Amino acid sequence: MNKSVSRSGRLTVVLAVLALVLLVASSVGIAHSYFTTYTTADGGHTVFAKSQIEIHEGVKNLSKSIQLENTGRHECWARVLVVYPEGYKVTKSSGTDWSEAADGSGYWYYNKILPAGATTPVALTVEIEVPDTVSDEDLQKQFNVVVIEECVPVLYNEDGTPKPADWSLKFEDELITRRG
């Protein structure tokens, strides 16, 4: 038996091994891409952005006007929630600068970015209708309309356009964190 392999036989074996190595190498790249595409990472950047909102309320008869002032150092998105006793009817008006939440949550959103140091130029007006069953004396004793104001920082896309308000964010001291 002749154990020698012809030159063409060796070339065939070398080419077959080379083809197998190339096939395996190309598959590793795909697998590596798969694992790097679906990985998670921890960490982040601290963002300092002290922002605060002060509320300015005016009451005349059974009408309350609400304006918000950004007393912080950065621009923000702002909203309010008006809370009132059951059984009363409240009508809100505001022009075009304010809009009521479509989800029925009761929030009213200021539709523009509120710059640092600025006050909403148009007030949100709340008109209260008292039920006939409530006397003037009872109205003076127990009636209260509470306004809760909130703000979140304005974040920007890479092209410089503002992103929609992200109400899961909140200001804590000078850090922006996620609520919840």
The DSSP code sequence of 18-75 is HHHHHHHHHHHHHHHHHHHHT---------B----EEEEEEEETTEEEEEEEE-SSS-
Q: Considering only residues 174 and 74, tell me which one the structure prediction assigns the higher pLDDT.
A: 74
For residues 137-146, b (16+ Cβ closer than 10 Å) or e, as one string? eeeeeeeebe
**Cβ atoms of residues 151 and 171 within 8 Å:** yes
For residue 131, pLDDT beyond 90 = no
pLDDT tier at 178 (50, 70, 90 boundaries)?
low
The fraction of the chain above a pLDDT of 70, given in percent, is 73
Q: Model-level pTM? A: 0.63
Q: Considering only residues 61 and 166, tell me which one the structure prediction assigns the higher pLDDT.
A: 166
Q: Considering only residues 50 and 111, tell me which one the structure prediction assigns the higher pLDDT.
A: 111
For 126, other C-beta atoms within 10 Å of its C-beta total 23
pLDDT tier at 44 (50, 70, 90 boundaries)?
very low
Q: Please, is 77 exposed, middle or buried when counting C-beta atoms within 10 Å of its C-beta (0-12, 13-18, 19+)?
A: buried
Residue 11 to residue 6: CA distance in whole angstroms: 9
For residue 173, pLDDT beyond 50 = yes
